[in-house]
Structure 1
Amino acid sequence: MGTDDISNESVLDLIGAIYEVALDGSRWENVLTRIDDAIGGRTLFGVFDPASGLSSLLSPRIDPDRVQELLGWAPRNPLLPLGIGRTPGEVFTIGDFITRDEFTRSDFYNEWWQPGGFDTEPLTTNLLVDHNATGILTSHRPSNLSPYDDKARRLFATLAQHLVRAVAIQRRTHQVDIAGRAALAGLDGLDQGFILADAQARPIFVNRRAHEWLDAADGIVIDAGALSAITSDDGRCLQTLVGSCSIDNPDRIGGEMSLRRLPGRMPLHVQVTPVGSDWAESSVSLASGWRSSAMVLITDPEPDARSRLDALRARYGLTRAEAAFALEIVKGGGRKATAERLGIADGTARSHLSKIFDKTGVGRQAELVRLLLQK
């Protein structure tokens, strides 16, 4: 199979399988094989995350010995540094960085790449770039075939976006066995909220962290038996995202959003992902007539923001007052609102902001917020 042969229905089915693998890592090899078949290449998938213990290097169509040899080439692989910093999901190839002649003159090309039968125009995307954690996916085209065409590139780019989300979910749920109703209780150990919901946004399973937010009406609530939010606009958006994951919807897309909280609190980040019916039916003791729809993963950015601020203080030399101001301004409302919440004069706030800009090298509040919230 190749891109000329794959139907839209098959692509949607493959996207669904990508999200299922986020909850069952044993399915990665099967999904990578299906990606190979869809695009017409040989996929190499690698993730290394010391913090969560997640580590994997897989390629169903490349000789296992050659895959292992790749690890030994890391210090001399001229390609490794090139894609660092590229946004996860962005597709790039060798020619975006160096010429073909430069690459083919390297020892890495002549001793590992060329003997493997790969052409010089692979499709690559970062799956995650986060401090010491790295993840990358590369689809190698056999050198005896023509290079990837535009249709293959578009399909790879589409799948890349879903793979990035799947890896993010897997990082959060790694080491949690979710093979049954009793095992789902293990999700209570997560710092993130985890909810399984049907197409009407009715919760089927709610872990401990999500219960805490629901009980406190902290951004997310239950309204008329369905997931909603403390603002009507957010509630409608959340229910729309969950509804889009219904198995009756051929697109099953899900999505991401922010849930506003009470004044002075940073919004909750919500990721809504389709759940395959086969997985859900084996994982949850179903009520009569219930059918799977969505997994809702909720993250509170405030603890991470504080950790990032500690790192920023060390890196940029922020004072304690400047760091406190930076943390507060992330919560929204602008400089004057931040000053009011901290009980300081607007002139003091202006001074803090000016010094923070000078030390971090950004020039706008929006840029500062992105710096503080970046993964």
Structure 2
Amino acid sequence: MNLQERLRSELSDTALDDAAWPAFLMRFASHLGATEVAMGGAQPGGVHEMIAPHTDPGFTGLYHETYHQQNSLMHAVLRQQAGTVTQTEELPEFAQFSRSDLYNLWCVPQSFNHGVALSLGSSTGWVGALVVNTRAPATSNQIETLRAFAPDLQKAVEQWRVLKQLRLANRLTLDTLDIAGLGALFLDRTGHVLDLNGQAQDMLADGRLQVRDGQLRGPEPQSDSALAQLITRCLFTPDLGGGRMQLAGPDGPLSVQCAPVPGNFAFPTPQRPGAIVLVTDPKGKLRVRISALSRLYGLTRAEAELALAVVETGSRKAAAELRGVSDTTARSQLTSIFDKTGVRRQTELVRLLLDDH
């Protein structure tokens, strides 16, 4: 397989990963013998983005801050039909462009004296271009090579932008559920965690949930097995619509719902969400309140956990039993809690913990 064929085969993988584009563009520039191969564009009304691996980052920032809106040559390229290859010197706008500050203060110092542009577009509305910059006028071989790659580049860009839009939609879903106080995780079709929101991250951080070998797990063997069964049913019998369960744990039960995600063939199979898991902690609001009070009053973790147990059970003795400590220990911790918070009765403590204000 020659270099040109390898570059074509790389494009399918490059389309799946934003981070892969700079390396591909650098190899493509080397293959063409170009100073730079840059790609940029934007959604309608969106912010222009540019991937230019050979360009000094300071110059990239200057371009976006000062020159992009003045780049009449690039705007002319973007008005052309997707897939069109244009030698920039042949555009009517080039004469004026060659006298501009953008050309003389930005392009020339980087040896971007000449260019060949490929107009690109996507069904998502994204419009952009790939520009091959050279010191000398582009050769016929460079132009024909870009034309030969144009269909493959257009196809890769289409897949890249569609995937980006789908990932954004998934991210917005996770963020919305986060605001609603729900832990949420997207799983792939083998049950591995693809993405999760802040609530789910907190549950993993304090052990209410676990991830082992990339898969969601319960904190205890029995709950772990039940959760695995729920996820398996959700992934492999999606027509049943998923299911619910109570997930037992040391800090109380969690309510777990698993729902299949309809297949979308624009997503490559390894990155396609197969299911979404929603986790509700009935004590979550109180847990956040106690955490805030712990920071405010300097409660220890043991004292905060006892305070939570007092609210749940309504009595010190029952709280001690729930926590697995002696009544003497619970009495000592409760005295310390009273001293730190300034309350004198359990009813006052409960009111303090449950007060949202």
Whether these two folds match at TM > 0.5 is no
TM-score for the superposition, normalised by structure 2: 0.44
Q: Which has the higher contact order (CA 8 A, sep 6+)?
A: 1
Q: Which has the larger radius of gyration?
A: 2
TM-score for the superposition, normalised by structure 1: 0.42
